[in-house]
Structure 1
């Protein structure tokens, strides 16, 4: 029974629609009505600006971390990744925002932070390098997800100091999350094919300043 309650709590933590609540409370905007319609970090940056974007990123990251950390409570014998996965599902399908949420990236990162901090910083470095090269959050997120997933299989053999042993559950959930991320970015993939995907004002291919 305790495990079921914690699973529900993990989902509810993930369901906190940070972008939607911050938009309504401080900007009087429902960000689901603007941009991509998502309540996640990227759309918040686009619609509400840098301050709101960073606030939502931190909130969405911590949702995954807190949910994952529920497994470290006394007398809980559940792998933390299961609670993290529940938070990711809550973030994508939030009960508090009519099941219309974000694209799983920040909360997935939060899950890694709660489960394996060193691997989280490795993954964050991969994403930031890709973001600098592409200047596109969507493309960086998808490529990073693939590289991170492959890393869970390869690192135990080539860099055991970072990932000492093969963690099959981590690898399986990484595959699931990566497939999920690609599915949630299907409209972005279409815009990438058309050459119309949005770029940010950072990196080698940053968007030009408006005159």
Structure 2
């Protein structure tokens, strides 16, 4: 029963819609009605600006981290933090608090990896920033970072993590399918570093 409650708690933590909360409380704006309609950090940056985007991105990262650490917090080491972390990511993508319309899994997946392996998180964060700097596409950077996370997991020989990062990367690609079309059509928005 304790494991079931922890799984539900992880999903609920992942379901906290920071993009919706920050938009409505701080800006009187429902970001689901603007931009891409997505609740994640990227749409928040575009619709509400840098300050809101940073707050939402950090919130989405840390809810993945907190959920992943639940087995350690409650001293239930028999259950894998990987499973609990994935439930938070599912909550982020399909949040019960926002009519199951959530983000694209990138930030919360990163937060899950931060809870599991800070070294791996550092690698993927660096790869994301570097790819974003070169391409100026957030979506492309997210997908490439997913592939790098799989490769890094193989190198550190954590095969449970290989499976999870592979599943999450499939989710990330699936959630970015419209972005892939726009990249191919050269209509995907680029960020400005200015």
TM category (shorter chain) comes to over 0.9
Structure 1 stretches of 4+ with a deviation exceeding 2 A read none
Matched residues in 1 for 2:137 and 2:47: separation? 16
What residue in structure 2 maps to residue 27 of structure 1? 27
Matched residues in 2 for 1:95 and 1:49: separation? 26
Where in structure 2 are there 5+ consecutive unaligned residues? Answer: none
Q: Show CA shifts across 1:118-164 (max 9, x none).
A: 111111111111111111100100011112112211x2xxxxxxx3x
Q: Which has the larger radius of gyration?
A: 1
Matched residues in 2 for 1:76 and 1:3: separation? 11
Where in structure 1 are there 5+ consecutive unaligned residues? Answer: 156-162, 203-208
What is the root-mean-square deviation of aligned Cα atoms in Å?
Answer: 1.0
Matched residues in 2 for 1:98 and 1:107: separation? 18
What residue in structure 2 maps to residue 178 of structure 1? 169
What are the residue-to-residue correspondences of 1:190-201 with 2, within 5 Å?
190-201=181-192
Matched residues in 2 for 1:174 and 1:76: separation? 21
What residue in structure 2 maps to residue 101 of structure 1? 102
Give yes or no for contact 1:3–1:76 (8 Å, CA) kept in 2.
no
SS of 1:109's equivalent in the other structure is: helix
How many residues align structurally? Answer: 193
Give yes or no for contact 2:120–2:149 (8 Å, CA) kept in 1.
no
Name the TM-score, length of structure 1 as normaliser.
0.89
Matched residues in 2 for 1:43 and 1:172: separation? 29
CA-CA distance at 1:22 after TM superposition:
0.7
